């Protein structure tokens, strides 16, 4: 399905501008299609806030995404110039998506431009969501996009083996977050639609590895190991580092994708302009992020993506015992891997 690489660098274009399905750009399929029901229903199942998860090859995927995982494994063929933004939900996806889009598209859209796509679209509407397209049989839409394509996924690396095979593939930028903050963020998000959801329920599932796309440790590790083995193909970023030094990490990102900021851009304030455009306050203030839903069927408001945006918020949600338990799970699973969490 992959087409030849375009030598003319015109991408990335805001996906919503070329996608005719309106708000379905960010939508998840709720159920697997008829032809996949047999495959999916045989898998172990659990439920979080009405969302059915199925354990597929060791990862707990929203059940509508299982066929997408199988299809991605079989059919995803990246172009060498592609960039994939990857993350577990609630680890800083929206922020990284915005930063990556603003960086790769800065020639067409300087950060100060009044018509910048991030001033009229939610960041997620700017990128195709890989599994959303593959789940709905709409992956052909990727073929029509100009290079370089910028895409987004929550899938573990094991589900997109074509992304970084030895000696080929494309570039992947991953963002990792302190898992205690991730679980707090996930709970706040889910309770916008399920107000009775107990924090302890989401916490227990995270410790058991059964939150969406988890276990979190295996998700982190897949990308971590690939970044250690092929640093030119996988950039492993951390939410806490991005908070501490957004400009420094943005420069890393730009160098990694082969578009380092020039001296003229540095002098012209482009780095600061992108950091400012993509800051939590800036994005939260955009009309496109104040109204509307991530998915017209499941009413998660877009504004729920922009909450506190801090490191260490877990301290006001977890008892010391809960924190010890989750730290213990992470330490146990990550022991001797070289991956340390903040
Ligand atoms: P997603 O996976 O559903 O897209 P994601 O963007 O990864 O969600 O996570 C949302 C978290 O990122 C929220 O964290 P919190 O609940 O702990 O506050 C949100 O506030 C934070 N976030 C979103 N945009 C930004 C930003 N521009 N800068 C810093 N943090 C951000």
- 234 forms beta bridges with 172
Is 36 a known active-site residue?
Answer: no
Q: Which residue has a Cα nearest atom 27 of ligand 1?
A: 280
How many angstroms separate the alpha carbon of residue 239 from the centre of ligand 1?
9
Question: Quick one: which of 232, 99, 212, 218 has its CA closest to 157?
Answer: 218
> Which residues have C-beta atoms less than 6 Å from ligand 1?
87, 89-95, 181, 185, 188, 278-280, 283, 305-309, 313
Position in ligand 1 atom list of the atom nearest CA 305: 10
Strand, helix or coil for residue 42:
coil
Q: Quick one: angle between helices 93-104 and 246-256, nearest 10? A: 60
E-assigned strand segments in 199-251: 234-238
Buried b (16+ CB within 10 A) or exposed e, 230-259: beebbbbbbbbbbeeebeebbbbbbebbeb
* Cβ atoms within 10 Å of 88's Cβ, excluding its own: 25
Q: Specify the CATH number of the domain 15-334.
A: 3.40.50.300
* Residue whose pair of structure tokens reads 């379905």 in the numeric block: 24
Q: Which residue has the tokens 């680890």?
A: 91
Give the N- to C-terminal CA distance of the chain in Å, as an integer.
40
Using the mean position of ligand 1's atoms as its centre, give its distance from the Cα of residue 96 in Å.
9
Strand arrangement, sheet containing 45-48: 45-48, 51-56, 59-62
Can you give the pTM of this predicted structure?
0.94
Asked whether the beta carbons of 232 and 80 are under 8 A apart, the reply is no
Instruction: Give the strand pairing for 150-153 and 83-87.
Output: parallel
CA distances to 17, 184, 261, 321 from 274, in Å: 21, 27, 11, 40
Show pLDDT as tens, one digit a residue, over the chain (342 residues): 333 444 455 889 999 998 866 555 555 565 666 667 788 999 999 999 989 999 999 999 999 999 999 999 999 999 999 999 999 999 999 999 999 999 999 999 999 999 999 999 999 999 999 999 999 888 999 999 999 999 999 999 999 999 999 888 999 999 999 999 999 999 999 999 999 999 999 999 999 999 999 999 999 999 999 999 999 999 999 999 999 999 999 999 999 999 999 999 999 999 999 999 999 999 999 999 998 888 777 788 899 999 999 999 999 999 999 999 999 999 999 999 999 998
Q: Which of 36, 116, 124, 154 is catalytic?
A: 154
Domain boundaries along the sequence of the chain = 15-334
């Amino acid at each position: 399905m992959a087409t030849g690489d375009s030598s003319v660098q015109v991408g990335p274009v805001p996906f919503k501008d070329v996608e005719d399905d309106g708000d379905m750009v960010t939508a998840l399929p709720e159920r697997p299609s008829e032809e996949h029901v047999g495959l999916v229903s045989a898998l172990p199942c659990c439920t979080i806030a009405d969302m059915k998860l199925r354990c597929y090859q060791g990862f707990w995927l929203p059940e509508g995404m299982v066929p997408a995982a199988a299809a991605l494994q079989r059919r995803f063929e990246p172009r060498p110039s592609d960039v994939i933004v990857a993350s577990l939900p609630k680890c800083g996806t929206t922020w990284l998506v915005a930063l990556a889009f603003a960086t790769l598209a800065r020639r067409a859209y300087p950060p100060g431009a009044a018509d910048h796509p991030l001033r009229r679209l939610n960041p997620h509407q700017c990128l195709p969501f890989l599994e959303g397209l593959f789940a709905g049989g709409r992956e052909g839409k990727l073929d029509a996009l100009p290079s370089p394509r910028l895409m987004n996924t929550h899938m573990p690396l094991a589900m997109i083996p074509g992304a970084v095979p030895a000696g080929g593939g494309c570039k992947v930028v991953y963002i990792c977050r302190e898992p205690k903050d991730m679980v707090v963020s996930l709970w706040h998000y889910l309770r916008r639609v399920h107000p009775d959801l107990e924090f302890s329920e989401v916490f227990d599932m995270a410790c058991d590895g059964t939150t969406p796309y988890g276990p979190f440790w295996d998700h982190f590790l897949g990308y971590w190991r690939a970044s250690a083995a092929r640093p030119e193909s996988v950039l492993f970023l951390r939410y806490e580092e991005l908070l501490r030094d957004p400009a420094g990490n943005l420069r890393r990102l730009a160098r990694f994708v082969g578009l380092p900021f020039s001296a003229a851009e540095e002098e012209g304030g482009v780095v600061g302009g992108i950091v400012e455009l993509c800051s939590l306050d800036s994005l939260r203030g955009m009309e496109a992020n104040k109204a509307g839903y991530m998915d017209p069927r499941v009413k998660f408001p877009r504004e729920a993506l922009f909450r506190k945006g801090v490191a260490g918020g877990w301290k006001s949600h977890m008892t010391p015992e809960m924190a010890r338990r989750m730290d213990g799970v992470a330490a146990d699973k990550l022991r001797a891997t070289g991956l340390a969490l903040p």
